[in-house]
Structure 1
Amino acid sequence: MKLLAIVLCSVVLLGGCDISFNNSTPKVMASDPGTPQQQQQVLDTAVVFLELLDAGKADRTWPAVSPVLQAKTSELVWVNGLKALRLGLGTLHKREPAAIGFTEQMPDAPAGKYALIEFASTFSTTTVREKVVFRNDDQQWRVVGYFFNKSVTFGGDQQKASQP
């Protein structure tokens, strides 16, 4: 019952925040692959951000958030939203970059340079596709969105194991 109350409170607090759970991610075509140097910068920044989340340190991610997002939400809403979103994922087992791209067109966002990076991630309780969206603010990539979609497999390995 406590868990349900926490989740409901978090949902109420998330109004207007760019954190998503099983919602479709922004419809963005990041057709520019960028340079290898840009890709590495975004990958490194995303890894640092995700490692903080994996370690349960969502409160330490606020400095990595773009001023654009900071103007739309509060630190309390951001941190509690991240904690609620990742509740129940368990321990990270594996995370692999799946796609990276750059664009200057972001729906409902101010003009700027944006990067999107997607990871295929396996946790102890589920598999997800994580997407982190960054904005280039003063030559630094800063977070403007974090999304993930869960994958559910019914009968997967157990079904295979029981076949002769």
Structure 2
Amino acid sequence: MTQGASQFSFGKRARQALILSLALAGASVASAQQAPAGLDKAMTAAAKWVGQADANQADAMWKASSSTMQKNVSQADWGKYIATLRSQLGASQGRSWVGVSKVDNPQGLPSGEYLNVIYATKYANGMTVETVSMAKDSSNWQPVGYIVRKQQPQASAAPNNVAPKPAAADPGKK
């Protein structure tokens, strides 16, 4: 299973959309910011989007996304990306919202206000951290990216005379 969405094999435009999302995910965030206007709408839109991903409704996700994402990833490539994610992760077994970070004017994206809505999600094949990046247009929040990273288990201390087990092979690597 792959550790990050960037390791999935799909088209150039899909990689560009992920780069945009990674730019948001890695952007610095001021710690004392007020909640952005319409936060509840952003949270609702993000929750709907991950629900569509769970239902393998990639076309509906793409149609609901921002024009920035649509310019950077084709609908067909988005469909392949979501199908690949779902086949590797298995069925969603539960999702918990864990946080939101506000990002203003991230590098590599049009100027504006952005949010990362972050979930801890259990899938049949493991735990993940999902990040839905949202962009604010004139009055609404729209998805602009989606990254799923496998959550690594906490390393436990092994007794001195017992070697730790090797990490499982990543079938996504060649």
Please show how residues 1-164 of structure 1 align to structure 2 within 5 Å.
Answer: 8=9, 10=10, 14-18=14-18, 26-31=25-30, 32-35=33-36, 38-153=38-153
Shift of 1:154: 8.3
| Distance of 2:102 and 2:23 partners within structure 1 | 19
| Distance of 2:13 and 2:42 partners within structure 1 | 29
Partner in structure 1 of residue 5 of structure 2: none
Shift of 1:18: 2.0
Partner in structure 1 of residue 171 of structure 2: none
Runs of 4+ in 1 over 4 A off after TM superposition: none
The percent identity for this pair of structures is 20
Secondary structure of 1:107's counterpart equals coil
Amino acid at match of 2:58: A
Shift of 1:29: 2.5
Can you list the C-alpha shifts for 1:118-146, whole angstroms capped at 9, x where unaligned? 00111111100000101112312111111
Can you list the C-alpha shifts for 1:54-98, whole angstroms capped at 9, x where unaligned? 011112111211111212221111221222233221121211111
Amino acid at match of 1:95: R
| Structure-2-length-normalised TM-score | 0.72
Amino acid at match of 1:83: A
| Distance of 1:131 and 1:87 partners within structure 2 | 19
Amino acid at match of 2:29: A
Aligned-residue CA RMSD in angstroms?
2.7
Q: Which runs of 5+ in 1 are unaligned?
A: 1-6, 157-164
Q: Which runs of 5+ in 2 are unaligned?
A: 1-7, 157-174
Greater relative contact order: 1 or 2 (C-alpha under 8 angstroms, separation 6 or more)? 2
| Distance of 1:24 and 1:138 partners within structure 2 | 22
| Structure-1-length-normalised TM-score | 0.76
CA contact (8 A) 1:126 1:150 kept: yes
Secondary structure of 2:16's counterpart equals coil
| Distance of 2:12 and 2:40 partners within structure 1 | 36
